[in-house]
Every structure is written in C-alpha cells, then in structure tokens.
Structure 1
C-alpha cells in the first residue's frame, strides 16, 4: 500500500519505519526537511495541501501537533487544517484515515474511570477543538476514519519529570495521570493496518493510571531530593483504560513506566 503521513514527528517516524519494513510505500508531509531514506518527503503547509501529483494513496495517518498549547494554536493546527486536507485526499482511493487526537476530549476530572465506551464530553476549549476536529474528519470520511486518543506520551526524555522533582515541595491532591510509551503507541498505530474490522475510535494507554505525586516522589528518591508532601486526599484527573486496544490482540511492551524512567535516568 501507499501510506501518507500528514505530520512527521517522533511518533510518525516510528510508525513509518515499521510499515516500510512490512513492504509499504511511504510518503510524508511536513514543514521542515526530513532525512529518512525509506520515505519520500514533501515539504508543504497542510493548510494549502496539494496531493494532485502524488501517486494514489491508500492509507493516511494524520499526526499534527501545535507549537503551543493555546486555544489559537489548537484552532489553527487541528481545526483550520481539516478542509484543505480533506479536499486534497478526496481524489485518492483512501481505505482508512487514522487521525491522532487526545484523551483531552474526556472532561472528567475527579478520578473517574474512563474507557472507550464513555461518552465524550470535553470541558475546556482545547478539548472542544479536538472533538471538533474528530467530528470533521468523521463527517468527511464516515466509513474510513479511525480516531486515536493517546494518553500522555513518554519515552524520549525525562527532563520535565526531573524539573518537577526539583521544584515540587508539596502537591495539593491525588491527581491521576495516564501514559503510553511512544514505542507502544507507534506499534499500535502500525498494527491497525492488520485489524480486519477496526472500531471508529481507540484510546491508547498503558492501563496503569498513577497519581502524579507518586511519580514525582519516585524521581525525588532516585535523584535523590527531598520528597514532596501531599496536602490532601482529594481526587482529580482521570483513570484511563484502553479496552478496545486490548481487544485487537495488541500486547503492551511498556506497562511499567518506572522501569522505563530508570533506564532513561541511567543514560543521563
């Protein structure tokens, strides 16, 4: 198959390499030059996407990310780009279009359990913009669109966690956090090609929700630094479980984030 990646960052690179090794033809769209020799790289603005001279495209991955977390950046990156992307793809025989969104579309924030069957109800502007993006793609490709909602992606750096360990003296509440290793996310995205009857959306997570203060404390013990003090037992965040992902037969290789964090710390 000829597979197009719209947005070519760290996750896309991993997925593309796996699919190339399976014998697929890879083309990528990004705003900066890329060097992976296994793919044809096109430098284009997705808001003015032109695929008229590209060979027939069978499968598409859309993995865009804003440069900032502002409402304006979300609007421009996720929503304003859809019309041009849809128009450019309409002339191609698209079998599936996989759109990477976020679990931010789930608005729960009191430690609730979240899984794939829960109704999506965003509570902030960025979450609503992500949901709008999902709906626009689903309307344009009602039978081809697969929405992917990853939890927090980790696996390339521990710089942010080290910084949190250094500056956090206390934490106000038990705030559940959720994560997926970038390699597991990439493997699942690549495996979707082999799922015979995929669902229209998938949460992707390691199914190990952990209070964030416990992760910061773990880093403080490793470094070593004074451990933070938890101020209350009040719950926030969400406990996210990727039920549909597991139903496909996909097996996680990175269920233990602490083991992964330890390996990254040892390399520093």
Structure 2
C-alpha cells in the first residue's frame, strides 16, 4: 500500500518505521526537511496541499499539531486545514484515513472516568475546535475515517519530568493524568490500517491513570531530591480507559510507565 503521513513528528516517524518494515511505500508531508530513509519526504503547507504528482494513495495518517495553544493556532492547524487536505485527497483511492485528535474534547476535570462511550462535552474552545475537526473528517470520509484520541505521549525523554522534580516543592491537588508510550501508540495506529471493521474512534491510553504528584515524587526519590508536599486532597483531571482498544484484543508492550521512566533515567 502507498501510505501518506500528513505531519511528521516523533509519532509519525515511529509509524513510518513500522510501515516501512511491513513493506509499504510511504510519503510524508511536513513543513521542514526530513532525512530518514523510511519515506519520500515532501515539504508543503497543508493549507495549499497539492497531491497531483504523488502516486495513488491508499491510506492516510493525519498527525498535525500547532506551534502554540492559542485559539488562532488551533483553528488554523486543526480546522482550516481539513478542507484543503480533503480536496487534495479526492483524486486518490483512499481506503482509510486515520486522524489523530486529543482527549481535550472531554471537558471533565474532577477525576471522572472517561471511556470510549462517554459523552463528549468540550469545556473550552480548543476542545470544541478539535471536535469540529473530527466531525469534518468524518463527514468527508464517512466510511474510511477513524479518529484517534491519545492521552499524554511519553517514551522519548524524561527531561520535562526531571525539571518538574527539581522545581516542585508543593503540588496543589490530586490531579489525575494519563499516558501512552509512543511505541504502543504507533503500533496501534499501524494495526488499525488492517482492521476490517473498526470503530469510528478510539481512546488510546495505558488505562492506568496516576495522580501527577505521585509521578513527580517518584522522580524526586530516584534523583535524591526533596519530596514535594501535597497541598490539598481536592481532585482534578480525568481518569481515561481505552475500552474499545481493549475489546479489540490489542495488547500494549508498555503497561507500567515507571519501568520505562527507570530505563530513560538510566
């Protein structure tokens, strides 16, 4: 199959490597030069996307991310790009388009459980824009589109967590966070390319929500740093569980984030 990756960051690179090893032809679209040998790389602005000179495309991955979290950046990156991408793909025999969105579309923030069948109620404009993007792709490709909502992606660096450990003496409350290892996310995205009757959307997480202060304390213990104090037992964040992925029988290789953090620290 000929696979197009629109947006070529770290997750896309993992996907491309796995697809390459499976024997697929890969083309990527990004804003800056790329050099790895897994794919043919094309520098384009997705808002003026031109795919007329590219061989027929069978599968598409859309993994775009804004440079900042402003409303303007979200609008431009996620919503304004949909129409030019869909227009450019019209001439191609696309069998599947996999669009990576975000769990930000779920507005809960008091430790609630979120599963694949949970009601979607964005609480901020960024979440509303992400949901609009999902809906536009599903309308344009009603049979081919699968939406992916990953939780926090980890597995390449612990620099941010080390900085938090060094600079956090107090944590305000019990804030639940959720994560998925980049290798597992990429494996699942590649797996979906071949699933015969997929669901319309999937949460992708290790289904082990953890309070953020506990993770920072673990790093502080490993680094022999002073242990932070928790200021309040008030709960925030959300606890996310990947029910559709589990029902499919897909197995993660990285269930325990602390094992991975230990390896990265080493």
SS in 1 for 2:27: strand
1:206 aligns with 2:206: yes
Give me the CA root mean square deviation: 0.8
1:114–1:241 CA contact under 8 A, matched in 2: yes
SS in 1 for 2:111: strand
Instruction: Give, in whole Å, the separation in 1 of the partners of 2:167 and 2:35.
Output: 38
Match of 1:29 in 2: 29
Which consecutive unaligned segments of at least 5 residues does structure 2 have? none
Match of 1:193 in 2: 193
1:76 aligns with 2:76: yes
Instruction: Give, in whole Å, the separation in 2 of the partners of 1:249 and 1:21.
Output: 23
Instruction: Give, in whole Å, the separation in 1 of the partners of 2:173 and 2:37.
Output: 48
- Aligned residue-pair number: 266
Match of 1:93 in 2: 93
Match of 1:139 in 2: 139
Shift of 1:74: 1.0
Instruction: Give, in whole Å, the separation in 2 of the partners of 1:42 and 1:157.
Output: 27
Deviations 1:25-70 (A, max 9, x none): 1111011111122311111000000001111111000000111122
* Range with bigger deviation, 180-189 or 164-173: 164-173
* Range with bigger deviation, 78-87 or 32-41: 32-41
Instruction: Give, in whole Å, the separation in 2 of the partners of 1:37 and 1:217.
Output: 40
Match of 1:38 in 2: 38
Match of 2:223 in 1: 223
SS in 2 for 1:15: helix
TM (norm. structure 1) is 0.97
Instruction: Give, in whole Å, the separation in 1 of the partners of 2:152 and 2:67.
Output: 17
1:128 aligns with 2:92: no
1:172 aligns with 2:172: yes
SS in 2 for 1:99: strand
Shift of 1:194: 2.2
